[in-house]
Amino acid sequence: MFVKVTQKWGILLLLFWSLSGVAQESDSTTDLSRNYQQALELINQFQFDKAQTLLSTCYIKDPENVDYLLKIAYCNQQSGRYPDALIFYNKVLKIDSLNTTALSSTGSIYERTSNYREAAKYYRELIRIDTSNAYYYKRNGYVALRMNKPLQSVIYFLRAHGLNEADIETIDQLCDLYLALNDLKSAELMVKRGRAIDPNNLALLYNNARLEQKRKNHEEVAGAIRRAMELGDTSDYYQMMLGVAYIYLDSMDQAIGHLEAIVDRGQDSEYTHHYLGLAYRAKDEHAKSIAHFEQAIELGVSEKMSDFQADLASVLVEENNYRAAIDHYREALKYDPSAEHIFHLARTCDQYYKDKKIALKYYEQYLNTKNQKFREYTEQRIKQLKEFIHFSN
């Protein structure tokens, strides 16, 4: 009787312990699920550190759970802790080497840290997994561009475009690439396709302006940039392009208005002042023209310095200030010994110096360049100067 009672109680205790274990395991699973859901809510609120704290409790309980690993990696990535993010993405890839989220995110981290070769390795793996995904080709297009491989980049972006023709970002990148490669026909095709989808897209409007600038269709340039400005954009670079278009369209007041607006915002450069100098020169406002050319020279660091010097010299000639003009033409020649600069220096010396041997030297130097633009005038003037020098002697 005692043995039977003991056995009965033993069975009951064993059953109790078993049920207690199940209950504890159930509670543990519930806690994990609750913590994970709370972590997802915090991620949606951009509270990445708080989310990671909760995710860590999940990871400790189940270190092989891919969902936990991915979310911990993502929190680190969004918080800028890239080395930590890579550790957890690599853990995922050891469990599942074809996990596209881990592959894409790892590639993105390497791309952001300018390690483009590593980024390309992961992005190419994505294409091997799925050749029908336009996003994968687009990412490969970007990284090829970063690696200075424009033709390879075009191939990837074209494949992305073929898979998703409505992707404006891909169309815009193709426009940029075709313009850089001077393939204007292809650039025009992409601009038309993009604007058929989104006629008010700023990037496409600006690419349209760049396309027409290359074609020297200044009215079209002005129209595209005006539309962008009507939409609320005030890019300094494109407002200057608009000002330059107005110079070519002989609308100097409009050109000056846009270029002076850039100066007023304190975003002026050597080019802004150069074009203002040209616009004021066209209006015969020489004092303002000279002031802007001088400022362009003061700010100048580009290969256009020879133009700045020569254009200033040309205004000084119109002001009969030949001595100063000669100095600036000589400066222009230091940057670019072009035939035209040599000719204008010769002519200015001819107007200023009584000693015609100085002008003769530069005229003969011009003839040696084989440039044809002023050859007839130069040959006649050399003949006249030689006769003058002969009779003067």
CA–CA separation, 353 vs 360, rounded Å? Answer: 11
Domain 234-324 has CATH 1.25.40.10: yes
- Which of the four pLDDT bands, split at 50, 70 and 90, describes residue 142? very high
pLDDT tens string 85-119: 999 999 999 999 999 999 999 999 999 999 999 99
pLDDT tens string 278-303: 999 999 999 999 999 999 999 988 88
Q: What value does the mean pLDDT of the chain take?
A: 92
Share of the chain above pLDDT 70, in %: 93
Q: Is 370 helix (H, G, I), strand (E, B) or coil?
A: coil
Residue 233 exposure: Cα atoms within 13 Å on the Cβ side: 18
Measured between alpha carbons, how far is residue 237 from residues 52, 147, 193, 213, 284 in Å? 43, 25, 25, 13, 26
Residue 6 exposure: Cα atoms within 13 Å on the Cβ side: 3
CA–CA separation, 248 vs 218, rounded Å? Answer: 7
Average pLDDT over residues 251-272: 96
- Which of the four pLDDT bands, split at 50, 70 and 90, describes residue 32? confident
- Which of the four pLDDT bands, split at 50, 70 and 90, describes residue 28? low
CA–CA separation, 17 vs 37, rounded Å? Answer: 30
CA–CA separation, 306 vs 297, rounded Å? Answer: 9
Q: What are phi and psi of 176, to 5 degrees?
A: -55, -45
Is residue 107 within 8 A of residue 128, CB to CB? The reply is: no
Query: Does the reported pTM lie above 0.95?
Result: no
- Which of the four pLDDT bands, split at 50, 70 and 90, describes residue 11? low
For the chain, what is the radius of gyration of the CA atoms? Answer: 36
DSSP character string of 45-108:
TT-HHHHHHHHHHHHHH-TT-HHHHHHHHHHHHHTT-HHHHHHHHHHHHHH-TT-HHHHHHHHH
Say if residue 14's pLDDT is above 60: no
Say if residue 144's pLDDT is above 80: yes
Say if residue 6's pLDDT is above 80: no
What are the residue boundaries of the structural domains of the chain, listed by start? 234-324, 337-393
Q: What are phi and psi of 188, to 5 degrees?
A: -60, -40
What tokens does 145 get?
């561009």
Task: Report the b/e string of 183-220 with b at 16+ CB within 10 A.
Answer: eeebbbebbebbbeeeeebbbbbbbbbbbbbeeebbeb
Say if residue 21's pLDDT is above 70: no
**What is the per-residue pLDDT for 275?**
98
**What is the per-residue pLDDT for 241?**
96
- Which of the four pLDDT bands, split at 50, 70 and 90, describes residue 2? very low
CA–CA separation, 265 vs 174, rounded Å? Answer: 32
Measured between alpha carbons, how far is residue 386 from residues 110, 332, 343, 374, 379 in Å? 71, 27, 17, 18, 11
- Which of the four pLDDT bands, split at 50, 70 and 90, describes residue 5? very low
**CB proximity list for 132: less than 8 A, separation 6 or greater:** 163
Nearest CA to 137 out of 113, 117, 157 is that of 157
**What is the per-residue pLDDT for 53?**
93
pLDDT tens string 298-339: 998 888 999 999 999 999 999 999 999 999 999 999 999 999
Residue 80 exposure: Cα atoms within 13 Å on the Cβ side: 0
**What is the per-residue pLDDT for 103?**
98
